[in-house]
Homo-oligomer: A and B are copies of this chain.
Amino acid sequence: MDLASATWTDVRDLESELAVVPVGSTEQHGPHAPLGTDVLTAEAVADAGLERVDRTVIRTPAIPVGIAEEHRQFPGTMWVSPDTFRSYVRESVQSLAHHGIERVVLVNGHGGNVDALREVGARLTRDGDAYAVPFTWFEAVGGHSADMGHGGPLETALLRRVAPELVREGRIETARDGAADGWGDWTSHANLAYDSAEFSENGVVGDPAEGEKERGEELLELAADSLARLLDAVAEREVSRPDGR
């Protein structure tokens, strides 16, 4: 159920304790893909996942601004500090838990949010506020995951499936030409770079030309299936904390 469209009486009558919170970012995705990519993809995966479960799940509005200072050299990128992001997500989930919606999957579309969401999930769970687990769609698409870049094959493919009108097809070549091969600048397994502008000319990582719509279809299927499995697992997990040894 889409929370924003529902009334409070609808929520009351639903008596569901399971929700998904899409979490995105408004940040550069190259010259060909929109700043809203991570919100769009998180929402699309969340919605597709919900269709695949045989449970009543509440779907909240997406959180639109995340941890994206690494892209600050690219105009239009928005961000908040990790502290503020963590508080915003944690308190949003706590407000759901106040109504008994105590199991939450944070459906994430942005790599920069991953660490913070795990920290928030741990805090909520250990404090007994809610059982919250982050799910980042591009980590859960089988072999495709290895191709994840930024505005690269995976995101471009998924956009072509869920919001094709927002992909600037005429700039794909430009996007590819200014792209980096991989994320970061590594020595001894340490990333020496903190800003994407240190290693990518136009903010892209990976080749967006390898992101056909058919691949996007497959990605959506895979991600939605993964999310559905996770929702079942989260709904059924025993979440009481272990005793001290």
Instruction: Give residues in A with beta carbon < 8 Å to B.
Output: 3-12, 26, 28-36, 39-40, 58, 60-65, 69-70, 72-84, 87-88, 91-92, 95-96, 98-99, 105, 115, 118-119, 121-122, 125-126, 133-136, 139-140, 145, 166, 168, 171, 187-192, 194-195, 197-198, 202-203, 226-227, 229-230, 233-234, 237, 241-245
Residue of A29, A62, A99 most packed against chain B (CB within 10 A): A99
A selection of 28 A-B contacts at a CB cut-off of 8 Å is A3-B26, A4-B39, A7-B30, A7-B35, A7-B168, A8-B77, A8-B203, A12-B76, A58-B76, A60-B78, A63-B64, A65-B95, A72-B95, A73-B242, A80-B88, A81-B91, A83-B83, A83-B87, A84-B91, A88-B88, A105-B190, A126-B195, A133-B192, A135-B189, A139-B189, A140-B190, A192-B237, A195-B242
Q: Given contacts A64-B64, A65-B88, A84-B88, are A73 and B195 in contact (CB under 8 A)?
A: no
Q: How far is the CA of A62 from the CA of B77 in the complex (A)?
A: 15
List 8 additional contacts besides A8-B77, A192-B237; criterion CB under 8 Å: A3-B26, A4-B35, A7-B35, A8-B30, A8-B31, A12-B76, A58-B76, A76-B99
Does A61 lie within 8 Å of B39, measured CB to CB? yes
Q: How far is the CB of A225 from chain B (nearest CB, A)?
A: 8
User: Contact: B34 with A7, CB < 8 Å?
Assistant: yes
Given A192-B233, A230-B187, A233-B187, A73:B35 Cβ within 8 A: no
Please name the residue on chain B nearest to A135 by beta carbon. B190
Task: Using CB atoms, name the residue of chain B closest to A74.
Answer: B8
- Given A11-B76, A35-B4, A195-B242: A190 in contact with B88 (beta carbons within 8 A): no
Majority secondary structure of chain A interface residues (helix, strand, loop or mixed)? mixed
Q: Would you call B92 and A87 a contact (CB within 8 A)?
A: no
The CA-CA distance from A229 to B229 in the complex, in Å, is 43
> A40: nearest residue on chain B (CB-CB)?
B4
